[in-house]
Structure 1
Amino acid sequence: MNLPLDVALRGVDITRLPYPPDPGIVFTSIANDSRNAQPGALFIAIEAERDGHDFIPDARRNGAIGVVARRVIDLGPWLPASERGSFAYIVVDDPIDHLQGLAADHRAAIDIGVVGVVGSVGKTTAKDVAAAVLRRRLNVLSSPGNFNNEIGLPIALLELTDQHERAILEMGAYHQGEIAALCEIARPTAAIVTTIGPTHLESFGSIEAIEHAKGEIVAYLPETGLAILNGDDPRVRRLASRARCPIVWYGTGDQNIIRARDIRMRGLDGVAFVIQHPDGEFRVETPLIGRHAVYPCLSAAALAFADDFSEADVAAGIASIGSTSRLVPRPGRNGSTVLDDAYNAAPLSVAAALDVLADHGGRRVAILGDMLELGIAEEDAHRGAGRRAAATADVLWAVGRRARAIGQEAELSGLRNVYYADDEADIAFAPERGDLILVKGSRGMHLERVVERLVEAS
């Protein structure tokens, strides 16, 4: 990134600046967390649970050379008068709006195909697989991690240069209208829609609202765009009525244009399957784990075929993915293997992760935490996970108040080895050689601490 000060000052009333900065300042990155500020960064001071204005001095100590803020704080000892010219203090009404405006202007100045990836689960993996495939032939910008909201997406988009040939951006939402707003910034020309389920149901209010929100990107696409939709998901299929552009369906059912057949599970080594498309079929192998791994591979293939990629390029890209999935096997204590999926949890992703346990020949252990933000679906979702756990696991730990329903339903379904813990600190489990241990729960349950205990000194 090279963001000159005069561009960063877009629309700013310079009379509000506390002092004149050096006009030659050029920012090389953007950070909204002072701990992540690198030398040359522009820090965005956001007022949230913690007020970003309180961390402006920390950002400067870490190398930031400017800030976008709503107000001027006491410059005091952290910014002596003799050093102020080298640190741009930009004052605006709303730092997030300003960041979004910079990103929108930047995107508008670059003629490039932008792919937006949306869905209740599987967005990050779909984005990463698509990027891996397109990189066989193209220079691709892919949003890092889960930079998918009103702050992360603009930061990712500002990394775009005229050297890039495609951009693949993940888009998330908690309310209707948020994906539409991200589309106004990123101006996608194509979209991948993964699944629609009750993730963030608490904030959306209803599954119908979630469906409408995911469809905002489909409605946005121009007539010359392309919608790549999961044809196995009934709610995703309904989004076709909102499209003005061509649609490519992907999935395992006969109704799909890009279809997987002859799916062969290879345990922790991944999945092999045949991709069928209008001009033929070919076999691929991916290191991604679980039957659900075929879906991001299919959506990536659909995107690549739209760019006239060969079967060989698609297969090579799918094989090269590496450990992009959050469902990552790690060597555990006493000869066990830990499936680290502690980052987040939703009903669809929990079911898919549990299915990975089903084919394991040794003892199968599921450590499942609360699934948060499910609203009125909370009880049914946890009980559904309990039934699936009873069918796929030999041992179950239910962690948290909500997860008690997982354990209770698993016991009702015939699973005998069910244990309960109020939080991650209460889990007392000794892994054995040959165990496959799935650890999954919402981020607020902090089950990554369990993972670290299970893999330490392995």
Structure 2
Amino acid sequence: MLRLDEVLPGVQEEVNRRIHALPPALMQVAFSEAVIDSRLATSECLFVALRGERVDGHEFLADAAARGARGALVRRSKVSSLTLERPYVVIDPVTGEGLERATPDTMLLIAVDDPQAALNRLAAYHRGMYNPVVIGITGSVGKTSTKEVTAGVLQRSFRTLKSPRSYNSEATLPIVLLKLTADHQVAVLEMGMYGPGEIAHLAALARPRLGIVTNVGPSHLERMGSIEAIQRAKSELPQALPEDGFAILNIDDPRVRAMAEVTRARPFFYGLDPAADLWADAIESRGLQGVSFRVHYQGDGLHLTLPLLGRHSVHTALAAASAGLLLGMEWEAIIAGLRSEGAQLRLLAVPGINQTTLIDDTYNASPASMQAALNLLAELDGRRIAILGDMLELGSIEEEAHRMVGARAAEVAQILIAVGQRARWIANEAQQAGLPADQVYAVDDNDAAAHLARNLLAPGDFVLIKGSRGMFMETIVSQLQAHRP
């Protein structure tokens, strides 16, 4: 709960913060949560009217009000043009003006110069009221998976808050921080990157003591300009860690390994290199039955079999185990967490039409994750079909990257369906690599891909579906599922 007497000082700039005594009628007013999507508004929430690239949250204030929002953070310059059907009062958090007219039944519009900046200040203020161990997670690929598995492990021993979905941006990470309570011992937070300085900004709000960096790859290369710029941006997390913290780094990625040189925290390496603090060998992927490997730590070896899909999930498990070990967990609890339902990855095997199995890896795509998904498909015993969509934001390497995926698809799949304009490079390269032309299809959109697949699928087929988030390829999964949601 966010009490009104916390929100009003919290949204102000720290140097000029003023605290006003609330009228007795408002002393118990509190907000259940903060939301930035009016569709998520509830009768007790605080709606934050953010201005995005395409829409302005003020346009949805009436919807939030109709859903019963108790209050809202609004831009001061917009107040005069607001019209709501519910009674409301505009409150200036600096002067306190409007408090005397407010009642528990009126909608409280808290007027600020910039709702995004005010939300950031409030999140930092709220974070400062508690003392959890915060774990920040970043990387070009695997942030969300690592967050889910790490939280699944830590939940075995600690009361844990984690980012929902991919709440990892300047707009959404503050929403997670506002969910912190005195009950939480650990917070596992994903930190994304839109441009230079964003991870540093998120780390300043969250104040992590542990930071996990999974890898550095060409995701967002179009926006960032170079792989070196991406490396520098990801380095902002280990740079933000305190001296008594730990930078948990993937030793197998040279660009991540080098981040040990820029952090004040103690580096803790994980990976497949025996030089790591925690490393694995004897990896055996068992397709949809999971993966087994031997893990080594402080001279001891332990054999694990986990319900995680693909060889690449070993790195995810090692990162999560690293966090558990550094927080004092015993292996028994760590293994139980790795095997728990809460630690399962986004990549899912779901029943498809015509007695097929769909490998749903539609959350996002990069050259590395495409290769990993195809490697998993290669391990399955049956006819293998790959439905692959565009990979976005790859800049100057986009043709090369798509063709690389096409070459691997030709080695793995018996049928390839490429979706989107860039994916035509995948189809073209697959044919050049030897996949017969009558087994390669190129279509423009998801509906065409689903329609085509419905006519091709046969009992026993395994179907990998993967593309960038902006391709919305989960719509293909929904059309091919045996029992549609």
Alpha carbons of 1:109 and 1:14: their partners in 2 closer, same or farther (altered >3 Å)? closer
Describe how 1:434-445 pairs up with structure 2 within 5 A: 434-445=460-471
Distance apart, 1:350 and its partner CA: 0.9
Q: Which amino acid aligns with 1:440?
A: K
The correspondence for 1:30, drawn from 27, 31, 34, is 34
Cross-structure match for 1:201: 221
Q: Which amino acid aligns with 2:62?
A: P
Distance apart, 1:121 and its partner CA: 0.7
Residue 60 of structure 1 pairs with residue 82 of structure 2:
no
Residue 65 of structure 2 contacts residue 84 of structure 2 at CA under 8 Å; is this kept in 1?
A: no
| Aligned residue pair count | 453
Residue 219 of structure 1 pairs with residue 218 of structure 2:
no
Determine the C-alpha separation between the residues in 1 that align with 2:88 and 2:361: 49
Residue 272 of structure 1 pairs with residue 292 of structure 2:
yes
Q: Which amino acid aligns with 1:341?
A: D
Deviates more, 1:321-330 or 1:153-162: 321-330
Describe how 1:296-375 pairs up with structure 2 within 5 A: 296-322=316-342, 324-375=344-395
TM-score, structure 2 normalization: 0.90
Cross-structure match for 1:130: 150
Residue 115 of structure 1 contacts residue 168 of structure 1 at CA under 8 Å; is this kept in 2?
A: yes
The correspondence for 2:448, drawn from 414, 426, 440, is 426
Determine the C-alpha separation between the residues in 2 that align with 1:47 and 1:238: 37
- Aligned with 2:47: secondary structure? strand
Distance apart, 1:335 and its partner CA: 0.6
Residue 129 of structure 1 contacts residue 321 of structure 1 at CA under 8 Å; is this kept in 2?
A: no
Describe how 1:46-85 pairs up with structure 2 within 5 A: 46-48=50-52, 49-70=54-75, 71-72=78-79, 74-76=81-83, 78-80=85-87, 85=103
Determine the C-alpha separation between the residues in 2 that align with 1:441 and 1:367: 8
Describe how 1:156-171 pairs up with structure 2 within 5 A: 156-171=176-191
Deviates more, 1:222-231 or 1:284-293: 284-293
Alpha carbons of 1:457 and 1:319: their partners in 2 closer, same or farther (altered >3 Å)? closer
Distance apart, 1:24 and its partner CA: 3.5
Distance apart, 1:39 and its partner CA: 2.3
Q: Which amino acid aligns with 1:80?
A: P
Determine the C-alpha separation between the residues in 1 that align with 2:79 and 2:290: 53
Distance apart, 1:444 and its partner CA: 2.0
RMSD of aligned Cα (Å): 2.0
Q: Which amino acid aligns with 1:28?
A: S
Residue 45 of structure 1 pairs with residue 40 of structure 2:
no
Residue 140 of structure 1 contacts residue 164 of structure 1 at CA under 8 Å; is this kept in 2?
A: yes
Determine the C-alpha separation between the residues in 1 that align with 2:179 and 2:4: 16
Q: Deviations over 1:170-199 (max 9, x none)?
A: 000011110000111011111011011011
Residue 289 of structure 1 contacts residue 327 of structure 1 at CA under 8 Å; is this kept in 2?
A: yes
Residue 282 of structure 1 contacts residue 311 of structure 1 at CA under 8 Å; is this kept in 2?
A: no
Residue 283 of structure 1 contacts residue 315 of structure 1 at CA under 8 Å; is this kept in 2?
A: no
Residue 272 of structure 2 contacts residue 281 of structure 2 at CA under 8 Å; is this kept in 1?
A: yes
Q: Which runs of 5+ in 2 are unaligned?
A: 90-100
Alpha carbons of 1:81 and 1:105: their partners in 2 closer, same or farther (altered >3 Å)? closer
Q: Which amino acid aligns with 2:467?
A: G
Q: Deviations over 1:349-391 (max 9, x none)?
A: 1111111111111011110000111111211111111111112
Determine the C-alpha separation between the residues in 1 that align with 2:114 and 2:88: 26
Q: Which amino acid aligns with 1:447?
A: M
- Aligned with 1:188: secondary structure? coil
Cross-structure match for 2:230: 210
Residue 287 of structure 1 contacts residue 321 of structure 1 at CA under 8 Å; is this kept in 2?
A: no
Q: Deviations over 1:370-429 (max 9, x none)?
A: 011111121111111111111221111111111111111111111122110011122212
Fraction of identical pairs, as percent:
45
Cross-structure match for 2:249: 229
